[in-house]
Chains A and B, each alone.
Chain A
Amino acid sequence: AQSVSQHNHHVILSEAASLELGCNYSYGGTVNLFWYVQYPGQHLQLLLKYFSGDPLVKGIKGFEAEFIKSKFSFNLRKPSVQWSDTAEYFCAVNPNTGTASKLTFGTGTRLQVTL
Chain B
Amino acid sequence: GAVVSQHPSRVICKSGTSVKIECRSLDFQATTMFWYRQFPKKSLMLMATSNEGSKATYEQGVEKDKFLINHASLTLSTLTVTSAHPEDSSFYICSASPAGSSGNTIYFGEGSWLTVV
Interface readout for A93-110 with B: 1 if CB under 8 Å, 0 if not? 011111111111111101
Q: How many residues of A contact B (CB 8 A)?
A: 25
From A11-19, A43-51, A76-84, the one touching the partner chain is A43-51
For residue A32, CB closer than 8 A to chain B, the reply is yes
Interface readout for B5-41 with A: 1 if CB under 8 Å, 0 if not? 0000000000000000000000000111010100001
Docked-complex contact B43 and A107, CB < 8 angstroms: yes
Docked-complex contact A106 and B43, CB < 8 angstroms: yes
For residue B97, CB closer than 8 A to chain A, the reply is yes
Count of CB-CB pairs between chains A and B under 8 Å: 64
Docked-complex contact B34 and A102, CB < 8 angstroms: yes
Complex: A34 Cα to B111 Cα, angstroms: 19
Cβ of B32: which chain A residues have Cβ within 8 Å of it?
Answer: 99-100
Supposing A43-B108, A102-B34, A105-B44 touch, asked if A96 and B93 sit within 8 A by C-beta, the answer is: no
- Among B96, B101, B102, B106, max chain A CB count under 10 A is at B106
Residue among B42, B93, B103, B109 making CB contact with A95, cutoff 8 Å = B103
Docked-complex contact B104 and A32, CB < 8 angstroms: yes
Task: List residues 73-111 of chain B with CB under 8 A from any CB of chain A.
Answer: 93, 95-97, 101-104, 106, 108-111
* 26 pairs, CB–CB < 8 Å, chain A vs chain B: A34-B104, A34-B106, A43-B93, A43-B111, A44-B44, A44-B93, A44-B111, A51-B104, A88-B41, A90-B43, A94-B106, A98-B102, A98-B103, A99-B32, A99-B102, A100-B97, A101-B103, A102-B34, A102-B46, A102-B49, A103-B44, A103-B46, A105-B36, A106-B43, A108-B43, A110-B41
Binding site for A on B (CB under 8 A): 30-32, 34, 36, 41-46, 49, 93, 95-97, 101-104, 106, 108-111
